[in-house]
Amino acid sequence: MKKAFLAMTAMLLASTLILLGTVAYYQKKVQSFVSPEGSMKEYDHHYLFVSADRSGMMQDVFKAASESADRAGGYLEWCGSGTDNSYTEAECINISIAMRADGILVCPDGSNDLADAIDRASDAGIPVVTIMRDLPDSKRVSYAGVSGYQIGELYGGRLISMLHEGINDVCLLENKGTGKDDTQLLYTKMIQSVNSGAPSGKTIKLRTEEVDNFTDFDTEEVIRNLLLGDHVPDILICVDSIQTECAIQALIGYNLVGDVQVIGYYATEPILHALRQQLIPVTMTIDTAQLGEDSVQALDEYRKLKRVNSYYNIALDSITPRTVDAYIEAHELGEEEEDPLS
Amino acid sequence: MKRSSKVPFSSIQSRITLVMAVVLAIVLLVNIFVFRQSSSMVRRAGRIFETNSTIIKLSETLRSTQQSLYAYLSTKSSGSLEDFYRYEQEVKDRTETLNDQNVSDATLMLEKNIREMSDAYLDTAEDAVQARRARDVEEYKENYGRAFSLYGYINSYIYALNNTRFEQNTESYQVLLKAMNVMEHSSIGIILAAIVLALAAAAFSIRDMVRPLRNLAKSADRVAAGDFDTEIPESSLHDEIGTVTNAFRGMLISIREYIERQRDSMETEARLKETEARMKENELSMEAHLKDAQLKFLQAQINPHFLFNSLNAGAQLAMMEDAGRTEDFLGHMADFFRYNVQKNGGNATLQEELQSVDNYIYILNVRFAGDIHFAKEVEDGIDEAAIRMPSLILQPLVENAVQHGIHDDHENGRIVLTVERADLGETESGREAVRVTVADNGAGMTAAQLKEIGTKGSGSGIALGNVISRLQLYYGEDGLFSIWSDGPGCGTVVTVLLPLKQERRE
């Protein structure tokens, strides 16, 4: 009788536990799609991030800017994300106006109508901050990035150590739509740096190659044509991470490692791997966290004070095979053992 | 009934009803719970894709708005304007349900963007309508172009939102399906567990209820097997089983007491039977005495037969020689012995008995030269031939009177045989009787001799004991023989009662 009673009690308890467990499981599951985020955060401001460049560097900039905006009570949204349409930056500005955004961060793609769109946003009371590339003729309230002068000086310095005797054919890849002023400034400063620092007998012949847009396919085609053409450059200078990754892939694919030296841009995982493998001698990098933070700060400052610094300078640095490990360690990057380029 | 009314659920019926009610309640509650959960899940499943439906309706309304705007701008018809305003209001109503807060959820931000862009679109469309009314062609064209662009953006965002919602809802649906699957299995398990539990509870409860009945049945089996010493403890239950148990216990106690009484009664009866047996044994002993007497008679009959034949031959010889007295003597001798031979063991009439006594006295008088003084007195009205009695009763009595009474003094000795009616109630059976008395004035008897004769009937050979036994056997009652003497020398009186209307017994 006692055993039977214990068995019945155990069975009753087990049934009750199953029942409660099932109800809890069901409630939890239902709750998970009734309110997916139990602690959904609310923001005071809604900022739009407009960029046709979706390279890794720009992703890092967006991430840093989002975190900075989040800390300041703002929500940063990459305009057009989630939609199937590929809007131009001007269209994104128009969309931002229609959304009654509280601010816009835009990385100009060089399109002609962007300045007008920025002006309309400004007229609608929406502050616009340009990043990486400036549109000083528009009504943007501020710019955060590096200057052509800065880049030219750094590239020139790096070129000196890479030159061989005689004339070195240096090709600079240039994104379509980049401001002529900036490019001119970069050219000038680069040549000036080489001329002032290079030993006698080592000179450069600088040329540019325009890349049509930010898509990988077009960039890859341009670099392929360049490296397999009649005039293979001695040194190839990339100005964004997509160009750099395409160039590294081409060096490996066409067995040009050592024949063509590539100066990369930014520090994505494939680029860092190439540095460790000594496929490329150097890559330039900017502090994306600083860039994201400063750009959002510029928006916040303008929204509060209706005035802001017109230029936030971001530091530019270089990574070589010798310093790549220190860079990875400093940025807590876990480089995979597997070759990302393979 | 009174007890059960004091104790709730004391009867088996109410307890079984309670158990079944609890069992059904458990199963019912579990079923209700499962049913409610299932209904809730079904409702939720039905609502999951409501958001997609809302988004699609918003998209359709926007398309209608855009079409009516285009129609109005093209034709300026009041109908299209009316449609425009109607759809415009509908768009506003629908977008009001969308999120308007800046939140960290990308989907909700899509809603906010759609809501804001829809407002901007409606404002722009309104501007276009107003410009069209004002016939400002450039203005309404520009506004229409902007509205068209916005309409495209909104559609793109609506499409994105719809896709996102659909993915989320599909995922939710999958989650819900899994949850429903888990719930289904769990529900089946719980229902089975509830049924098993309920049945187990019912079984245990009923077993508890039936256990006293089972014990009672075992006790009843033992009682049926004859074990009346089975102890049945008094039941404290207030139900029917308790009542039956206590009633059975009472009945068993009653049976035990009854058996005890029966045992006592049987022991008493056994004792009585033993007494009867002893009496029977006495009777058989008497019969043995009779047989013994008869044997002795048979042995004694050898001589009488021989004598009887010899006497007949002598009588015939005396008659041929004209010896009359000798002939009479031998004739009486022959009659006497003939009677003895013929009636021995049977019955006779009083007349034959008296004739036998006369013959005996004649013989004795011849023998003792007429010294025996014998008198016979028969009451008038007594039909001696009609009274039947055992044979050889009176002659031994007279012989005893001669042998023991007047043996030493024949001259003075007197023997009187009296036959008279007995008084009513003189016999133990109360029957009418004839009293035969043989009295002598001879030697008499001592009290010890009288007592010996009274108890054993012995002391005088086969005579008195045999007479007493045969009288008792013949008439079936005691007290028919008595003997009295006032003491030695005072004579002896022997009385024999012969009940009348006695059926003839051979």
Answer CATH for B2-211 from 3.40.50.970, 1.10.1060.10, 3.40.640.10, 1.20.120.1730: 1.20.120.1730
Expressed in angstroms, the distance from the first to the final Cα of chain B is: 75
Q: Is residue A274 part of a domain?
A: yes
| A181 and A298 housed in the same domain | no
Q: Judging by beta carbons within 10 Å of its beta carbon (0-12, 13-18, 19+), is residue A153 exposed, middle or buried?
A: middle
What would the mean pLDDT of B356-366 be, rounded to a whole number?
88
CB contact under 8 A, B37 and A23: yes
What per-residue confidence (pLDDT) applies to B1? 41
* Contact yes or no for A321/A275 (Cβ under 8 A): yes
| A238 and A200 housed in the same domain | yes
Top-confidence residue, A196 or B343: A196
Task: List CB contacts (< 8 A) between B169 and chain A.
Answer: 33
Would you say domain B370-506 falls under CATH 3.40.1160.10? no
Which of A2, A3, A30, A84 is most worth mutating to test chain B (most B CB atoms within 10 A of its CB)?
A: A30
- Cα A104 to Cα A91: distance, rounded to the nearest angstrom: 13
> Could you read off the pLDDT of B37-51 as tens digits, one per residue?
778 878 877 787 888
- DSSP letter for B502, please: P
- Cα B283 to Cα B70: distance, rounded to the nearest angstrom: 151
User: Which amino acid is located at B332 in the chain?
Assistant: H
What would the mean pLDDT of B313-329 be, rounded to a whole number?
84
Q: Is residue A4 part of a domain?
A: no
Residue B127 has pLDDT above 90, yes or no: yes
* Contact B473/A at CB under 8 A: no
| A232 and A176 housed in the same domain | yes
| A128 and A243 housed in the same domain | no
Interface of B with A in 100-159 (CB under 8 A): 101-106, 108-110, 112-113, 116-117, 120-121, 149-150, 153, 156-157, 159
Helices (H) and strands (E) in chain A, counts: 11, 13
Q: Which of A254, A270, A178, A255 is nearest to A216 (CA)?
A: A270
Top-ranked range on mean pLDDT: pick from B85-89, B182-186, B203-207: B85-89
The answer, as to whether pTM is greater than 0.80, is no
What per-residue confidence (pLDDT) applies to B2? 42
| A231 and A117 housed in the same domain | no
Count of domains forming chain A? 2
The pairs formed by B214-218 with CB atoms below 8 angstroms and a separation of 24 or more are: B216/B241, B216/B244, B216/B245, B216/B248
Q: Tell me the Cα Rg of chain B.
A: 70
- Sheet containing strand A103-107, strands side by side: A74-78, A45-51, A103-107, A128-131, A142-145, A311-313
- Cα B469 to Cα B467: distance, rounded to the nearest angstrom: 6
CB contact under 8 A, B102 and A44: yes
CB contact under 8 A, B160 and A84: yes
- Cα B175 to Cα B180: distance, rounded to the nearest angstrom: 8
| A260 and A300 housed in the same domain | no
CATH number at residue A172: 3.40.50.2300
Torsion sign over Cα B467, B468, B473, B479: positive
> Could you read off the pLDDT of B161-193 as tens digits, one per residue?
998 888 888 888 888 888 778 878 877 887 787
What whole-number percentage of chain B has pLDDT above 70?
Answer: 92
Q: Is residue A201 part of a domain?
A: yes
Task: List CB contacts (< 8 A) between B47 and chain A.
Answer: none
Residue B237 has pLDDT above 90, yes or no: no
| A76 and A209 housed in the same domain | no
| A308 and A324 housed in the same domain | no
What per-residue confidence (pLDDT) applies to B114? 94
Domain boundaries, chain B: 2-211, 370-506
* Contact yes or no for B242/B267 (Cβ under 8 A): no
Residue B505 has pLDDT above 50, yes or no: no
Task: List CB contacts (< 8 A) between A19 and chain B.
Answer: 33, 186, 190
Q: Which of A285, A293, A269 is nearest to A131 (CA)?
A: A293
Interface of A with B in 94-153 (CB under 8 A): 94-95, 97-100
Residue A106 phi, psi (nearest 5):
-130, 135
| A60 and A207 housed in the same domain | no
Q: Is residue A335 part of a domain?
A: no
| A178 and A206 housed in the same domain | yes
**Chain CA centroid to CA A32, Å:** 33
Q: Is residue A171 part of a domain?
A: yes
Range with lowest mean pLDDT among A253-262, B141-150, B337-346, B487-496: B337-346
Q: Is residue A264 part of a domain?
A: yes
Q: Which two tokens stand for residue A295?
A: 């750009």
Residues of chain A with pLDDT under 50: 335-342
What per-residue confidence (pLDDT) applies to A151? 85
Helices (H), B101-136: 106-133
Q: Which domain holds residue A51?
A: 45-145+288-315
- Cα B341 to Cα B159: distance, rounded to the nearest angstrom: 157
What per-residue confidence (pLDDT) applies to A68? 93
Task: List CB contacts (< 8 A) between B113 and chain A.
Answer: 77, 95, 99
What per-residue confidence (pLDDT) applies to B501? 65
Which of A5, A8, A16, A26 is most worth mutating to test chain B (most B CB atoms within 10 A of its CB)?
A: A26
Top-confidence residue, B122 or B179: B122
What per-residue confidence (pLDDT) applies to B466? 80
